[in-house]
């Protein structure tokens, strides 16, 4: 079992943007979803954990090792897949992976080949190993990126927005791969899609404007919302009235008709329909409470 302890991390960029503010989280093996809108600070947090940039204050420990003081030691235990993963379009998948394996210090050619083949198989790319990476689909590129991140058998895997641009089949396949990795390592992935977290994560945090609004087990958050989520179809013109008189956490179009989702401790009116809470409601309500 691995543990990652993030304590009171803050970061303000030189342009004055406060990207992280007092972030504290405790993670173990399994999939951890970092959910938040664009600009929430997800990439900043991930780059900080991956020792690619320093925070202003705070500490991070991986299995007792101080990450910020011993970056080289951490990099050996870390697999990092950034949002934009540079590839070499004219090289084959096997050549690319072999190249990364050399860079990561796997010196023995036989060991290297074995590891590369093993990871190509793990990521379902073995049959494509002799194809040029430039012709790969988005999902295949992401999987090759993961194979690269796994070369040194990391205890901590960080993937930034892994499902962006993937079609549903590729996304599903990628989810399965991440789930399997979570059995032996801490896997952190960031997303702005609630569905990614709902389907996948054992633990999660909601981040907005650099702050952790909530962290824990998705099912617990959903249970907390029991009996507190109501929906109502309305006329578009009445929206301002509802916004000022109710805690409207979301405004949706349901089969072309405007619908509001309201958070309330008791039924807000006879024409409101109680809804079975889901993670989307949790997300909307935490973001709404933060902005209010
Ligand atoms: P996310 O990954 O959730 O979209 P980021 O960590 O990329 O969020 O960004 C958080 C905030 O910090 C945003 O307001 C962004 O514009 C700002 N930011 C990110 N990187 C830099 C940087 N290198 N210099 C200045 N501001 C930055």
The arithmetic mean of pLDDT across residues 118-128, rounded, is 92
Q: Is the pLDDT of residue 185 over 90?
A: yes
Rounded distance from Cα 221 to ligand 1 centre (Å): 27
Same domain? For 50 and 107 the reply is: yes
Residue 157 in any domain: the answer is yes
Same domain? For 132 and 246 the reply is: no
**Percent of the chain with pLDDT strictly greater than 90:** 69
Residue 288 in any domain: the answer is no
Q: Which atom of ligand 1 is nearest to the CA of 161?
A: 2
Determine whether the shortest distance from the Cβ of 191 to ligand 1 is under 6 A: no
Determine whether the shortest distance from the Cβ of 19 to ligand 1 is under 6 A: yes
Same domain? For 17 and 147 the reply is: yes
The rounded distance, in Å, linking the Cα atoms of 226 and 9 is 33
Same domain? For 147 and 174 the reply is: yes
User: Strand 229-233 to strand 257-263: parallel, antiparallel, or no bridges (unpaired)?
Assistant: antiparallel
Q: Which atom of ligand 1 is nearest to the CA of 13?
A: 25
Among protein residues, the one whose CA lies closest to atom 21 of ligand 1? 13
Determine whether the shortest distance from the Cβ of 13 to ligand 1 is under 6 A: yes
Q: How many domains does the chain have?
A: 2
Reported as a single tens digit per residue, the pLDDT across 45-82 is: 999 999 999 999 999 999 999 999 999 888 888 998 87
Strand ranges of the sheet holding 248-254, from the earlier edge strand across to the other edge = 248-254, 257-263, 229-233, 273-274
Determine whether the shortest distance from the Cβ of 42 to ligand 1 is under 6 A: yes
User: Range of 156's domain?
Assistant: 3-215
Q: Is the pLDDT of residue 152 over 90?
A: no
Determine whether the shortest distance from the Cβ of 23 to ligand 1 is under 6 A: no
């Amino acid at each position: 079992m691995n543990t990652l302890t993030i304590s009171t991390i803050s970061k303000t960029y030189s342009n004055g943007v406060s990207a992280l503010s007092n972030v504290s989280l405790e993670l173990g093996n399994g999939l951890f979803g970092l959910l938040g809108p664009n600009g929430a600070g997800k990439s900043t947090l991930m780059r900080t954990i991956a020792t690619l940039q320093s925070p202003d204050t705070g500490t991070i420990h991986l299995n007792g090792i101080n990450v910020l003081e011993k970056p080289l030691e951490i990099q050996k235990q870390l697999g990092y897949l950034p949002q934009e993963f540079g590839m070499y379009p004219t090289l084959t998948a096997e050549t690319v992976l072999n190249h990364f394996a050399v860079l990561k210090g796997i010196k023995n050619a036989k060991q290297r080949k074995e590891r590369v083949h093993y990871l190509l198989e793990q990521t379902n790319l073995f049959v494509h190993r002799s194809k040029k990476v430039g012709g790969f689909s988005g999902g295949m590129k992401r999987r090759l990126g993961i194979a690269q991140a796994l070369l040194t058998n990391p205890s901590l895997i960080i993937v930034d927005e892994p499902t962006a641009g993937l079609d549903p089949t590729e996304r599903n396949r990628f989810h399965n791969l991440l789930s399997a990795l979570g059995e032996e390592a801490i896997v952190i992935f960031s997303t702005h899609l609630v569905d990614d977290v709902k389907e996948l994560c054992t633990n999660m945090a909601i981040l907005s404007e650099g702050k952790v609004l909530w962290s824990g087990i998705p099912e617990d958050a959903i249970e907390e919302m029991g009996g507190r989520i109501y929906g109502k179809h309305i006329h578009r013109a009445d929206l301002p009235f509802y916004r000022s008189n109710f805690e409207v956490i979301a405004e949706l179009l349901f089969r072309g008709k405007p619908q509001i989702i309201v958070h309330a401790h008791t039924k807000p009116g006879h024409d409101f329909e109680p809804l079975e809470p889901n993670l989307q409601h949790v997300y909307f309500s935490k973001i709404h409470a933060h902005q209010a």
